[in-house]
Amino acid sequence: MKNNETLQKNVQDAIKWEPLLHAAEIGVTANDGVVTLTGIVDSYAKKSEAEDAAKKVAGVKAVVERIEVKYLGSIHKEDEEIAKEVLNAFKWNWKIPGEKITVKVEDGWVTLTGTINWNYQKDAAKNAIKNLLGVKGVTNSITIESDIHDAVEKKEIEDAIDRNWSVNNQDIQVKVSGSRVTLTGTVNSIYQKDEAQRMAWNAPGVWYVDNEIEIEYDYLLVD
């Protein structure tokens, strides 16, 4: 069983283990599985890395991310310049159908919209922005509409989940209705919940994934 103090230390250790975050001053609090991250970092990549590290810790049910990105005084980019760099990053990444994605930048915050065929393309678009200087955050509002109209195979999704070492021993159920997949069951971390969703999105013909998986973990609550 984990108490709040133990979970807090587990998340702190996970963050410190990441090479990008060795010297980062990131505060961590834990309350019944809800972890809050605070602090200031000098790049969006570090902000994203801290959030990802916290999500991988068993027992973390939700992450409240309040990390602020502040670049050094000598590093300043106008929104127009950031937008051009985002479009250029898309151009050189074969996974990203840049012509189908609209980019908006406001005070360093990038918003992506548009409709594409695969979820891996949506993930690739966000990841391509991580290391660009000047970016303070990303809202990925891209939607998925598959160009494959074959019936979604439930067993294929179940088999893919069984092959994934991080979730193959978890209690996950798959339901398919047309192009919509619903996931239910229980796992130990947000990372496992996200991995199951990623497996479902990889199936041909999927337009929607309703991830209703719950994160369950035993806690010993302390004041």
Share of the chain above pLDDT 70, in %: 96
Are 214 and 186 a contacting pair, CB within 8 Å? Answer: yes
CATH of 79-144, one of 3.30.1340.30, 3.30.1490.20, 3.40.50.300, 3.40.430.10: 3.30.1340.30
> pLDDT band for position 147 (50/70/90)?
confident
Residue 223 has pLDDT above 50, yes or no: no
Q: What is the DSSP letter of 128?
A: H
Q: How far apart are CA 192 and CA 58, in angstroms?
A: 9
Q: Determine the pLDDT at residue 172.
A: 95
This prediction's pTM: 0.81
Domains in the chain: boundaries: 1-69, 79-144, 154-215
For residue 189, the Cα-to-chain-centroid distance in whole angstroms is 13
CATH of 1-69, one of 3.90.1150.10, 3.40.190.10, 3.30.1340.30, 3.40.50.2020: 3.30.1340.30
Q: Which two tokens stand for residue 24?
A: 């980062």
Q: Determine the pLDDT at residue 150.
A: 74
Q: How far apart are CA 104 and CA 144, in angstroms?
A: 19
Mean pLDDT calculated for residue range 34-48? 94
pLDDT digits (tens, 9 = 90+) for 89-122: 999 999 999 999 999 999 999 999 999 999 999 9
Residue 35, C-beta contacts closer than 8 angstroms, at least 6 positions apart = 7, 8, 11, 28, 29, 54, 57, 60, 62, 63, 64
Q: Determine the pLDDT at residue 162.
A: 93
Q: How far apart are CA 18 and CA 133, in angstroms?
A: 20
The chain-wide mean pLDDT, for the chain, equals 91
For tokens 């050094």, the residue is 72
Q: Indicate the residue type of 192.
A: Q
Q: How far apart are CA 17 and CA 53, in angstroms?
A: 9
Q: How far apart are CA 21 and CA 53, in angstroms?
A: 10
Residue 72 has pLDDT above 90, yes or no: no
For residue 81, the Cα-to-chain-centroid distance in whole angstroms is 25
79-144 and 154-215 share one fold: yes
Phi and psi (nearest 5°) for 191?
A: -55, -45
pLDDT digits (tens, 9 = 90+) for 51-61: 999 999 999 99
Q: Tell me: domain 154-215, CATH 3.30.1340.30, correct?
A: yes
**Burial track 162-179 (b if 16+ CB lie within 10 A, e otherwise):** eeeebbeebebebebeeb
